[in-house]
Structures are given as structure tokens and as C-alpha cells.
């Protein structure tokens, strides 16, 4: 029984690319580009890729900002007031 609970907890942590895109306010194509650029992701086989939100936010926080109006950087920095998470 503990194995089922542990597996369920792990599954709940994983998010799809479109979910991550909504959370960090970017296009889903940008999430795919970030993954190619080194953002942590988990390939599940058969082309399925999932992301852990805490890993994505940590990666975004350490990534250099290119613009002062970059929503993803604001989310990673914890400035989420007014954003739908």
C-alpha cells in the first residue's frame, strides 16, 4: 500500500509542458526550447516529457534575464502575486 501512495505522490509532482507554460506565462514552444537549453525535464518514453515545478523554477532563477519584463523570471523569483498558479 505504501508503494501506491509513493507512486501517486511522484506522479502528482510531474507537470506537462503546457502546464509549465501556463504557470510561468510563456508559450509551450518556449518550454520545449528551454528543455533543449538545459532546463530539467524527465523523458517518460514514447515522446512523453514531464517537468517538476520546483526544478523548473530553480533553473529559471539561476538563468540570466534578457528582459526586465520576463514573467518566467518573476515566477522563479517568487513574485507570483496576481498570477494564476
Could you list the pLDDT tens digit for every one of the 85 residues in the chain? 566 666 655 555 899 999 999 999 999 999 999 999 999 999 998 989 999 999 999 999 998 877 655 566 566 666 655 555 5
For residue 34, tell me if it sits in a domain. yes
State which H helix or E strand residue 60 sits in.
helix 53-62
| Residue 84 counted as domain residue | no
pLDDT value of residue 78: 65
- Find the domain containing 42 and state its range: 14-76
Task: Tell me whether residue 24 is in a domain.
Answer: yes
E-strand spans in the chain? 14-15, 42-45, 48-52
- Please check whether residue 69 lies inside any domain of the structure: yes
Q: What is the pLDDT of residue 5?
A: 63
Number of structural domains (the chain) is: 1
Amino acid at each position: 500500500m505504501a508503494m501506491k501512495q509513493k507512486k501517486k505522490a511522484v506522479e502528482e509532482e510531474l507537470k506537462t509542458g503546457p502546464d509549465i507554460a501556463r504557470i510561468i506565462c510563456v508559450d509551450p514552444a518556449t518550454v520545449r526550447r528551454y528543455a533543449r537549453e538545459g532546463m530539467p525535464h524527465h523523458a517518460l518514453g514514447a515522446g512523453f516529457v514531464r517537468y517538476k515545478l520546483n526544478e523548473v523554477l530553480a533553473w529559471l532563477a539561476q538563468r540570466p534575464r534578457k528582459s526586465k519584463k520576463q514573467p518566467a523570471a518573476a515566477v522563479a523569483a517568487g513574485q507570483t502575486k496576481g498570477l494564476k498558479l
